[in-house]
Every structure is written in structure tokens, then in C-alpha cells.
Amino acid sequence: MKLVSNSWPNGGRIPQRYAAGRPDEHGGVTFADNVNPQLAWDAAPEGTRSFVLICHDPDVPSRGDDVNQPDREVPESLPRVDFFHWVLVDLPATLREIAEGEFSRGFTPRGKPGPASLHGSRQGLNDYTGWFEGDPQNGGQYFGYDGPFPPFNDARVHRYVFTLHALDLPHCPVDGSFTGSQVREAIRGHVLGQASFSGTYTLNRRLL
């Protein structure tokens, strides 16, 4: 099984249109077009009954002390943790492509609705739910795709990994407002095959 995209080369720099954040003309950052990329895959393993798609960033700072502080950088050496940008389950076994912009066009304050979504799928909560918790303008449940918006002062270029899992189950065994971590645990032992596609993104003007 192979996962590909015509939105950017595998492992290459992600264009701004697929990000949630971009540099602005005043030297700061602002929201971007937040369009989900096109993704396509070939024949699945025999016995596949559904797909799960997860996009995560493994390069998020484990501590927020220095995040988005204009007078310093988040050090490259700081330990990193996962941040989930898209959690999509119950994609039908017959599906072979997600179109560009099919699931997301623009950033939605307080989050897109969910979990029910296209093709009979369900979308989980991404980690902007926790990031904006307590924010009076943006706080809410963030379902579906919301793209890159790394700290503007991070010394590390962030990676974004889209992984498609072929399952031997017709439905992923998660309910309600589920998260990426819950899906990873739920599909353990049910993955017949998987494929990944990635890109990089930074808002650090020193690295652009």
C-alpha cells in the first residue's frame, strides 16, 4: 500500500494554503487557508474493511515556557511530543482518494462540527481543542483537519506525517468525541497495513 499526494512532494515543504497559520505582513503570524491536502492510495491489503487516517506533528515542544516569545527561540534540543492535526476513521474500504479541500477550507474559530463526516466517516478531535482551551474567542471542540501552525520562534522545522491504516474492522472501536491517542490504542492488533506521506513547515522567519 502506498500513500501519495499532488499537493506537495513527499517529505517536502508544505505550501501555506494547507497550513492553519502563516506569516503576516507585519512581522507576526495569522491564520492561513487551512485547506486539507489531496491524498490518494493504491490497492489495500486483502481483508481490508475500513481505513483510518491520522495526521500528527511529532515535533511539538514538550514545555510551553518559550513558545511564541519574540525575544527568544524554543531550543532545538527541547524534548518533543505528538500533536494531532487530523483523526479520521471509518473511511470505506472502497475509497482510494481524499480530494483537496474536501474536508477543510479555512480556519473555523471554536472548531468544525463532528464527529459525523463525509463518506460515512467520523472525525475525531484534533489537538487545537486543548491548545485553545480557555480562549474566549477560539475555545471549543476542534473536529477534523486543522493544518500546521507551529510556534513562530521554534528552532526546529516541524514534520507533519499523514498515516493511512488499513483495518480488518468495518468500524473503528471508538465512540463520541475521540482523540488521536484513543484511536491509536483502539486499532492496535487490527492493522493489516499502513502507508505514510509527510511534509515540513515552519513559521520561524530565520528558517524560511
Cβ count within 10 A of residue 92: 14
Which domains, and CATH codes, for the chain? 3-201 (3.90.280.10)
Please enumerate in sequence order all residues whose Cβ is within 8 A of that of 126, keeping only pairs 6 or more positions apart, or say none.
84, 85, 86, 87, 142, 143, 144, 145, 146, 180
Cα–Cα separations (whole angstroms), residue 1 to 45, 164, 175, 183, 194:
7, 9, 27, 20, 7
Task: Give first-to-last CA distance, the chain, whole Å.
Answer: 33
Cβ count within 10 A of residue 176: 9
Note the pLDDT tens digit of each residue in 27-57. Answer: 899 999 999 999 999 989 999 999 999 999 9
Given a cut of 50, the residues of the chain with pLDDT beneath it are: none
pLDDT of residue 133: 96
pLDDT of residue 43: 85
pTM over 0.85: yes
pLDDT of residue 68: 96
